Amino acid sequence: MHKQIAIAADHAGYEEKELVKKTLDQMGIQYDDFGTQSTQSVDYPDYAKKVADGVARGDYDEGLLVCGSGTGMAIAANKVPGVRAAVAWNEEIARLSREHNNANVLALAARFTPPEEITKIVKAWLAAKVDGGRHERRVEKITQIEKEERQA
């Protein structure tokens, strides 16, 4: 079972974040909500960083982010070394992001994904397991790129 999940959204993803929290509650999964707490306009990088930092430090096993397209959150989260954030718009993409890319942060597109799909996507991502094998070698190459960039 999952130890702990960090979750956050910007204003565009606030309502969908609340839906995701209900899904996590139903699954018995613990989480910490890093905001935002309304639909008032905020800057998504601030929230992506909070979740990404927590995942990178190992305080959380996974992170869930929600914004309008998912893309901004994923870009910001991926700036934190050790984070592999993926945008998923359906169950298969979510599952593959975990199995093939060992994604530890999932970014969701509130404006483009129906609420019932968001629930299915989150469940599929949380249930998926890392495949290893040839995929492990590729994920390790991503880690190597991070190391080289930090040394540069």
- Catalytically active residues are 67, 100
Q: Which contiguous run of DSSP H or E holds residue 95?
A: helix 91-99
Burial 47-71, CB ≥16 within 10 A → b, else e:
bbbbbbbbbbeeebbbbbbbbbbbe
CB 113 within 8 A of CB 125: no
- In sequence order, the 6+-apart residues with CB closer than 8 A to the CB of 75 are none
Query: Nearest to residue 142, comparing CAs of 100, 108, 107, 109?
Result: 100
Q: Which residue has the tokens 């910490």?
A: 32
CB 105 within 8 A of CB 55: yes
